[in-house]
Amino acid sequence: MASTVNDHTGARPGYGQLLRTRGAWTFLLPGFLARQPFAMLTIGILLLVEHTTDSYGIAGAVSATAGVAMALFAPQSGKLADRFGQGRVLMPGVVVHAAAISLLITLALADAPLWALFAAAVPAGASTPQIGPMVRARWAAKLEGSPLMPTAAAFESVTDEFTFVIGPVLATALCTSVHPAAGLVTEAALTLIGGLLFAAQRATQPVPSRTAAGGHEKSASALSVPGVRVLAVSFLGIGAVFGGMQVSMTAFTKELGEPGLNGLMYGTFAAGNMIAGLICGAIAWRVTPQRRLLIAYPLLVLATSPLWAAHALPVLGGLGLLVGLCIAPALITGYTLVEQLVPTNARTEAFTWLTGAVGLGQAAGGAIGGKLIDGHGASTGFLVPLVGTAAAVVVLLTLRKALTPKGESRIAARGVGHREPVPVD
């Protein structure tokens, strides 16, 4: 690991230097393919179930069930990956996921009872492969102590958001022009193929803690770190933005008689996130990530405030772009803080707690937004992102001290309960 750090010492935090990291492309390319389905799952479920039940409330609830299951099981998947290796967890996981999606599609098209749809949504969400956190863990292992780590966090946020530009557009196009189930069929196929290809890249995966500890030492949970708990709660607010925007934009475009533009609207929102991510990753920040996070969240609250008042697609597209621009700094900074707060052998789990929190917030946002839309119209669903982000700001301001590692300026964390001095430049 030391040689990796030395290779990057003094490097400018640019994307070119990052992408020249030895072995990076061997996991980036299959990882990019494997993470595409993540952005297609909830919108695919939403569109299929709304088609078969004609209710956004039911569709949002089924989609939320999958999101909750994903949020609850993702950290356990990450912990297993930290302990036994990513490949050993991924290979059976993607097979189970493809089978679960096939079952959900079959039940929905057969007009099965609602309880059966909810039951099938649980394994569909629980088995969702956590490719994004696994890629981030590989970067963290390669760039331990490197100034390129914030750039890697930004790059991953951009990659995630690029999938949210492509995924919803692709899923919507397939569901509206090919078949209501076509989005989920494609999601399952990409998960299976991409996940197996990524799992095969074992040379770049972090050393499993079971191997590193000789099979005797049990690693501590990432959730034992107070800062991870605070970040996870605050990331629920970001998830509420994704869930609220997704169901509200779907209903809004349908209300105006333009359902095919839903993917474009959501893609515009995600494009703002991607653009901001590119900018954030290109900046050599002098402001601490803790302070950046406390600036980014209030800006997100301001950006989501006027959404409920939008009454035309161009206005909604512009506001969605603005919200996307404000999400990326919060996401990137949160993932960057994990590298400071959590030891290497628990980072996959830590990243999955954050990703799972986003998924849980997205599920809750979609379900609550769906209920509001069914009762009061599409515009009311946009109140969900505002309330979710406002609550996250309160949590961050109240518990902000947990985000600062003890002795941050003089020492670096090397494990739970054990810290070693490092030189200060």
The Cα–Cα gap between 224 and 234 comes to 16
The 10s digit of each residue's pLDDT in 5-24 is: 444 444 445 778 888 888 88
DSSP string, 400-425: GGGGS-TTTTTEEE-STT-EEE----
222-281 confidence digits (pLDDT tens): 777 888 899 999 999 998 998 888 888 888 888 888 777 777 787 788 788 878 877 877
Q: pLDDT tens across 217-234, in order?
A: 455 677 778 888 999 999
Q: What is the pLDDT of residue 161?
A: 67
Residues contacting 381, CB < 8 A, separation 6+:
244, 247, 248, 251, 252, 369, 370, 372, 373
pLDDT of res. 165: 66
pLDDT given at position 254: 84
Selected residue with higher pLDDT from 164 and 185: 185
Q: What's the burial of 216, exposed, middle or buried (CB within 10 Å: 0-12/13-18/19+)?
A: exposed
Whether pTM exceeds 0.75 = no
Residue type, 395: V
For residue 335, which of 150, 72, 159, 127 has the smallest C-alpha distance?
150
Segment among 125-134, 164-173, 387-396 with least mean pLDDT: 164-173
pLDDT in tens, 127-159: 988 888 888 888 888 887 777 877 887 788 778
Residues whose CB falls within 8 Å of the CB of residue 65, separated by 6 or more in sequence, listed in order? 118, 121, 122, 125, 363
User: What would the mean pLDDT of 38-49 be, rounded to a whole number?
Assistant: 85
Using CA atoms, how far apart are residues 296 and 302, in angstroms rounded to an integer?
10
Residue 413 to residues 14, 68, 347, 353: CA-CA distances in angstroms?
A: 25, 32, 12, 19
67: pLDDT strictly greater than 50 = yes
Asked if residue 214 has pLDDT above 80, the reply is: no
Which residue did the predictor score with more confidence, 205 or 416? 205
Cβ neighbours of 313 (radius 10 Å):
18
